[in-house]
Structure 1
Amino acid sequence: MKLIQLFIVFLSFNLFYGQEKPILKIDDDEVYISEFEQIYWKNKKENIATKEDLDDYIQLFVNFKLKVKAAEEMGLDTSKKFKDELAGYRVQLERPYLIDTSINENLINEAYYRTLNEVSASHIMVQLSPNPSPKDTLAAFRKIEDIKLKINSGIASFEELAEEVSEDPSAKFNKGNLGYFNAFKMIYPFECAAYNTPVGKISKIIRSKYGYHLVKPNNIRKAKGRTRTSHIMITINPKTKDIKAAENKINSIYKELTLQNKTFEALANEYSEDRKSAKRGGEIGWVSSADNFYPSFKETVFSLKDDEEFSKPFQTPNGWHIVKRLEFEPVGDLNSMKYELKNKIQKDSRAQKTKASFINKLKAEYNTKESFNPKILFDLVKKKGINDQNFKEFNNNKVLKTPILTFNDLTFSNIDFIQYLIKGNLYEKCINNIDLVKIHFQKFVAKELIEYEKTQLEKKHPDFRALMKEYRDGILLFEISDQKIWSKALKDTTGLKKYFNNNRTLWQYPNRINGTLFTSNSKKIINRAYKLIVKGRINNDSIIALLNKEDALNISYKEKNIDDFKNYNTSFDNLNDGANKPIYANGKWYLFFVKEKLVTRTKEFNEAEGIIVSGYQSFLEESWLRSLKEKYNIEINYDILYSIKEKP
């Protein structure tokens, strides 16, 4: 039966590739339509192929394949660096093929339910160190048992004991209440206890890497979805703790928003003290109702009913905020979320369920036989004094050579198992513990089955084979491009300077001014600023402080070089040195103080090095591709190319 299955895999594999005709030939190397289509459709949003699009893409594909062929001829695919990098990618790509997909479906459905429904839960924790002794483990278990007994007997409530004895520091303030969360927010055993225990009841004692827990679900609600959100934040100065100053500033910003003098994005960029988001116009990304934000922040975000709606100012422990709803997205249906959930499961501890089931399937598929007798082995170990230093001296011992595991014509002996234990620093722990030996033997069996299965993936899964080739070629492309283009452009200083001198007219400064630009929404305020500047008695910061006494947003300024004058309804020629009279443009008043007028000129190398290097890289790539196209014979089968119509 096993031979028939392998024959079918081999036959289907050969039929699949045997029926294909090459879409491209570079000398004697043939590239089939399946490889072209895999990359083509991956990089194309539309589901329909056009002749123009195919013509453009086949040229890019030819360039790609030429570079890969050149990399192979240089032997880059034989280097240790290449092999190590490809092996690292392979570890990631193998994962979806080394699980039981049927179990995975159950986990996806479970995760989807827990994404759709959020649970509010409290917990009591008795902490354990990362590597606790049996004595410490037993003491912690007895302590959590005693706590549960007190709750069940009514001596104290869950909340009282969480506050008094829980070793989670936050329990002193929240009585163990963790708020709402959903799938993947907690470690898997904790998540299961929260969702599987009836609301108001106490869970069984659960163990995590942090210790022992009791979990009490408080409520379950439908998830509210998620909102793409922006905010403007004004913090409270920790030294002065001047709450009023922060409140006044956020109220001034809110006034500007309501008067529509400036956009939310402009105000966030200018005033928000969360500088990371300020650079993006205040955007902080997606906020879900189960995320770890302050409750008042989430409540305000989800109180906004329309896109582009913004809130009134409100306070959290971080400071004062105004939030804006950019986009709302309800929880998707199962089909739309399947890929995302699958990826999360693979990275989560719940994936162990799929691995255990997968091992059992491999055992059946490869007709696995186990004949391990731990007592006989370790009686011999003790009798002969075999240890991790001298075990190789006993390689010819009959017991050690005894087969204990066979599958698919592979055989493993007791000596293989001992080497496994020694390599994992498990040998000394196992010598006097038969139960532990049995556990590690099953891990040994699983390891050997998985290692063998990895060698079969290309034969059993054509899509995996194609994916590995894509990654292989991608690594080669990057490496040779670095050698021939990117690094070469930086190291070849002579060639770079020559390229610059031959093309220096490409890089020029336009007419510019260096100076100070004042901005205000008020003609009265900007005219007062003009008079103060002309008098020249106080500096810019003092002008701003004086004119912003009543409103922190009356006027602002920036020191900058300006080369685009269209937005200010003026031109380079119209501006003079010193203070220029205020200009009204696009609903704002501007005042230029020109320190220096800088006329157009060619940039020196050090003034445009980045874009010059980039241009030289493009020049090197074009020259290299021309030489490759002259070196190799290229044949494109346009009949096959134009047979591509729709995305499979």
Structure 2
Amino acid sequence: MNLKQLFFGILLSVNFAGFSQNANKEVLFTIDDKPYYTDEFKRVYNKNIDLVKDESQKDLNQYLDLFVGYKLKINKAYKLGLQEGQAYQSELKSYRGQLSKNYLTDSKVTEELIQEAYGRSLKEIKAAHILFLVDENATPADTLKAYKKAVEVREKAVKGEDFGQLALQYSEDPSAKENKGELGYFSAFRMVYPFESAAYNTKKGGVSEIVKTRFGYHIIKVEDVRKNRGELTVAHIMILKPQAKTTEELAAAKNTIQDIYKKLQQGESFESLAKQFSQDKSSAGKGGVMNRFGSGELSSEEFEDVAFSLKNPNDYSTPIESVFGWHIVKLVEKHPVKTLDEMKADLDVKIRKDERSRLIMNSMTEKLKKKYSIKKNDKVYALTAKAVNDKFYVGEWSVPTDVKLNANLVTIDGKMFSGTDFLNFLNSQQKSENTIKPIAKLVEAKYQQFVDQKLNEHYNENLEGEFPEFAAVMDEYRDGLLLFDLMEKEIWEKAKTDTIGLQKFYEGHKQNYMWGNRIDAVVLSTTNKDFAKKAQKLLKQGKTADQIKEQMNIKDAVNVMSNAGVFDENSDALPKSIERKNGISDVIKEGEYYFVVQINKHLPAAPKTLEEAKGKVINDYQQFLEEKWVGDLKNEFKVRVNQPVFESVKSEMKS
């Protein structure tokens, strides 16, 4: 965590649920006639009270002084123009974008989708499908033709005709020729949302209604429904099927996997054998360990079924065959399905990336249409629509310069957008796929997108007015960013680089940076009493700690440890019962350890050097500079506290 993260971690610990807006706010104080109100003071005090360790700062008189000092610094930052900095503006915009996400979606719909996705994730569906391809923007005639064909084939499936054969005969999914429409098992988020919903809403053994996705029309046969098996981490040893696939080569590959299996049964290491023999290059170097997976995520159902059949960690399978080759699978860890609370954040992220997000956006847009007035100027729209021609489809259309198009096209909550605004929006869309025809229909669809976008932008721009807690957090972050930049410029960097000032401050406050009584000693420790006695004997012979360790720590065994240096006399590195006298101690037992200590000399209490105390000195010097600086700010700006109002606030908060 860097300094800025720590700074804002303390500054912005706002609890939205605990926020309340006080309508009866009064002016508490002014800085150069700019008012600051009681509601903000009380909110910030109550928010920070549990974080304050210094009891004096809980005193309301003391806290008001700190709060005024904080606002003085912000005024100074604005006076210096720090709010105009590009880095400041960029970071503030980025933070607002992150914070606004919670307000720009329909939370009720999001929660419903999370609940739905979690419920579905508890089950796995095995299904097959038949696809009739339809482009998203196909003509009505082509769409109807595909739909009628789907209806005809679905009737055959419902009457009991073999679904696999129907898929082989009618499906326009290229893979159907290989798999007869079989999709294996899948769970939530594995298929596009409309397909997933149709599958989960169809009973086992049943045939779904015809479902439309961006690929076309589907008929789905649900073959099985089972509980989600969770996820696995496994390792495997793989021998690939030879490309030529001659009888001799296949037999040799199969014999290799059988030989590896025999080695495992003889007690050889799975990890070592995987590194030596496995032909899966992505996992061999890791002892065969594969990425964690769930049902339907691998290309081999046979492999998955064997992996999920293993009961205990380190259990391994007999050799199995897949389309890729032969495998021996070892279970590393089972990962059961998580609880809703554990999955909630991950589900939320997946929903925002999935087609489901359109449901949330559409729901929010519909709410905004009811919230804000929208007035369309039909005459300007007709004029604007005529300005768009078929060149748009090939990217050769350009925005006309007709001044009449600058007239107001649509008004959203009192904010006007011209025909030119809409045409510029259209121009930005020209490179995307535009297949809706004729051009008038395309312009109509784009106009609705334009209005929806402007609706959401208007709402976003006015979040501070809609949500007091959002405005409060943004005010704090805005001020916090400025304060960080200001403090870095005026205090922190100065304290680090002003060597003369730092030395002078240290000289004037040496008494605050003192060593206690210390002991220069060598401490030897071991868990074996005989080793401790031997170490003591070697110390008495004049051996150094390094020589003792070299002599006693043999054959990779660490029999004795050493710790040498200057210790505070109450240091935990020293045994508690040691006599404080120079020389070599007796063997001392404390807990599981035996100690021998050689005390070389005692050092009395003395001031630390600047280098020894530098961190603490810099910190104190920063505080000294800040206090002096705030005093200067009080002279630079005119501060007036409304004392009667403050007394009223104190009475209210104490009660």
The answer, yes or no, to whether TM exceeds 0.5 is: yes
Higher relative contact order (Cα pairs below 8 Å, separated by 6+ residues): 1
Aligned to 1:574, which of 570, 581, 591? Answer: 581
Where does 1:557-596 land on structure 2 (aligned, <5 Å)? 557-558=562-563, 562-567=567-572, 568-569=575-576, 573-576=580-583, 580-592=585-597
2:75 matches 1:69: yes
Match in the other structure for 2:641: 634
Deviation at 1:617, TM superposition (A): 0.2
Give the Cα–Cα distance (whole angstroms) in 2 for the partners of residues 345 and 32 of structure 1: 43
- After superposition, the Cα gap between the structure-2 partners of 1:545 and 1:93, relative to the gap in structure 1 and judged at 3 Å, is same
Where does 1:32-181 land on structure 2 (aligned, <5 Å)? 32-45=37-50, 53-107=59-113, 109-110=115-116, 142-146=173-177, 149-151=180-182, 158=184
2:375 matches 1:366: no
Corresponding residue pairs, total: 482
- After superposition, the Cα gap between the structure-2 partners of 1:633 and 1:218, relative to the gap in structure 1 and judged at 3 Å, is same
Deviation at 1:498, TM superposition (A): 1.6
Deviation at 1:56, TM superposition (A): 4.6
Match in the other structure for 1:444: 450
Unaligned runs of 5+ in 1: 1-15, 125-139, 153-157, 160-175, 209-213, 224-240, 245-288, 301-314, 319-329
Give the Cα–Cα distance (whole angstroms) in 1 for the partners of residues 598 and 581 of structure 2: 13
**CA distances 1:241-279 after superposition (whole Å, capped 9, x unpaired):** 9989xxxxxxxxxxxxxxxxxxxxxxxxxxxxxxxxxxx
Give the Cα–Cα distance (whole angstroms) in 2 for the partners of residues 141 and 569 of structure 1: 82
Match in the other structure for 1:507: 513
2:629 matches 1:624: yes
Report if aligned partners of 2:92, 2:478 keep a CA contact under 8 Å in 1.
Answer: yes
Deviation at 1:101, TM superposition (A): 3.6
Match in the other structure for 2:470: 464
Match in the other structure for 1:427: 431
Match in the other structure for 2:227: 219
Deviation at 1:107, TM superposition (A): 3.6
Aligned to 2:614, which of 595, 604, 609? Answer: 609
Report if aligned partners of 2:195, 2:213 keep a CA contact under 8 Å in 1.
Answer: no
Aligned to 1:523, which of 516, 519, 529? Answer: 529
Where does 1:316-331 land on structure 2 (aligned, <5 Å)? none
2:33 matches 1:28: yes
3-state DSSP class of the match of 1:623? helix
3-state DSSP class of the match of 1:30? strand
Match in the other structure for 1:644: 653
Give the Cα–Cα distance (whole angstroms) in 2 for the partners of residues 543 and 207 of structure 1: 76
3-state DSSP class of the match of 1:42? helix
- After superposition, the Cα gap between the structure-2 partners of 1:44 and 1:507, relative to the gap in structure 1 and judged at 3 Å, is closer
Unaligned runs of 5+ in 2: 1-20, 129-170, 216-220, 232-266, 271-293, 296-306, 314-329
3-state DSSP class of the match of 1:97? coil
Give the Cα–Cα distance (whole angstroms) in 2 for the partners of residues 593 and 207 of structure 1: 81
Report if aligned partners of 2:532, 2:587 keep a CA contact under 8 Å in 1.
Answer: yes
2:389 matches 1:379: yes
Give the Cα–Cα distance (whole angstroms) in 2 for the partners of residues 555 and 402 of structure 1: 89
Give the Cα–Cα distance (whole angstroms) in 1 for the partners of residues 192 and 64 of structure 2: 47
3-state DSSP class of the match of 1:106? helix
Report if aligned partners of 1:489, 1:617 keep a CA contact under 8 Å in 2.
Answer: yes
Tell which structure's C-alpha radius of gyration is larger.
2
Match in the other structure for 2:146: none
3-state DSSP class of the match of 2:389? helix
Deviation at 1:396, TM superposition (A): 0.8
Give the Cα–Cα distance (whole angstroms) in 2 for the partners of residues 187 and 71 of structure 1: 53
Letter in 2 for 1:638: E
Letter in 2 for 1:70: K
Match in the other structure for 2:164: none
Give the Cα–Cα distance (whole angstroms) in 1 for the partners of residues 427 and 268 of structure 2: 63
Report if aligned partners of 1:26, 1:635 keep a CA contact under 8 Å in 2.
Answer: no
- After superposition, the Cα gap between the structure-2 partners of 1:40 and 1:108, relative to the gap in structure 1 and judged at 3 Å, is farther
Deviation at 1:58, TM superposition (A): 3.2
- After superposition, the Cα gap between the structure-2 partners of 1:555 and 1:452, relative to the gap in structure 1 and judged at 3 Å, is same
- After superposition, the Cα gap between the structure-2 partners of 1:342 and 1:243, relative to the gap in structure 1 and judged at 3 Å, is closer
Deviation at 1:590, TM superposition (A): 2.0
Give the Cα–Cα distance (whole angstroms) in 2 for the partners of residues 598 and 123 of structure 1: 81
Letter in 1 for 2:576: N
Match in the other structure for 2:461: 455
Letter in 2 for 1:28: D
**CA distances 1:280-319 after superposition (whole Å, capped 9, x unpaired):** xxxxxxxxx99xxx999x999xxxxxxxxxxxxxx9969x
Letter in 1 for 2:389: D
Report if aligned partners of 1:198, 1:217 keep a CA contact under 8 Å in 2.
Answer: no
Q: What is the TM-score when the length of structure 2 is the normalising length?
A: 0.57
Report if aligned partners of 2:549, 2:560 keep a CA contact under 8 Å in 1.
Answer: no
Give the Cα–Cα distance (whole angstroms) in 2 for the partners of residues 144 and 72 of structure 1: 65
Deviation at 1:618, TM superposition (A): 0.9
3-state DSSP class of the match of 1:605? coil
Report if aligned partners of 1:520, 1:555 keep a CA contact under 8 Å in 2.
Answer: yes
Aligned to 1:496, which of 496, 502, 508? Answer: 502
- Percent identity between matched residues is 24
Q: What is the TM-score when the length of structure 1 is the normalising length?
A: 0.58
Letter in 1 for 2:431: Y
**RMSD over aligned Cα, in angstroms?**
5.7
Give the Cα–Cα distance (whole angstroms) in 1 for the partners of residues 126 and 94 of structure 2: 40
Deviation at 1:524, TM superposition (A): 2.7
Letter in 2 for 1:484: E
3-state DSSP class of the match of 2:581? coil
Letter in 2 for 1:546: I
**CA distances 1:459-489 after superposition (whole Å, capped 9, x unpaired):** 3333333332222222222222222211221
Deviation at 1:27, TM superposition (A): 5.0
3-state DSSP class of the match of 2:615? helix
Letter in 2 for 1:42: K
Letter in 2 for 1:474: G
3-state DSSP class of the match of 2:91? helix
Letter in 2 for 1:76: L
Letter in 2 for 1:62: V
Deviation at 1:356, TM superposition (A): 1.9
Give the Cα–Cα distance (whole angstroms) in 1 for the partners of residues 415 and 492 of structure 2: 48
Where does 1:293-312 land on structure 2 (aligned, <5 Å)? none
- After superposition, the Cα gap between the structure-2 partners of 1:359 and 1:495, relative to the gap in structure 1 and judged at 3 Å, is same
Deviation at 1:92, TM superposition (A): 2.4
Deviation at 1:451, TM superposition (A): 1.9
Where does 1:472-483 land on structure 2 (aligned, <5 Å)? 472-483=478-489
Letter in 1 for 2:653: I
**CA distances 1:501-525 after superposition (whole Å, capped 9, x unpaired):** 2223433444556665433333233
- After superposition, the Cα gap between the structure-2 partners of 1:541 and 1:106, relative to the gap in structure 1 and judged at 3 Å, is same
2:491 matches 1:485: yes
Match in the other structure for 2:280: none
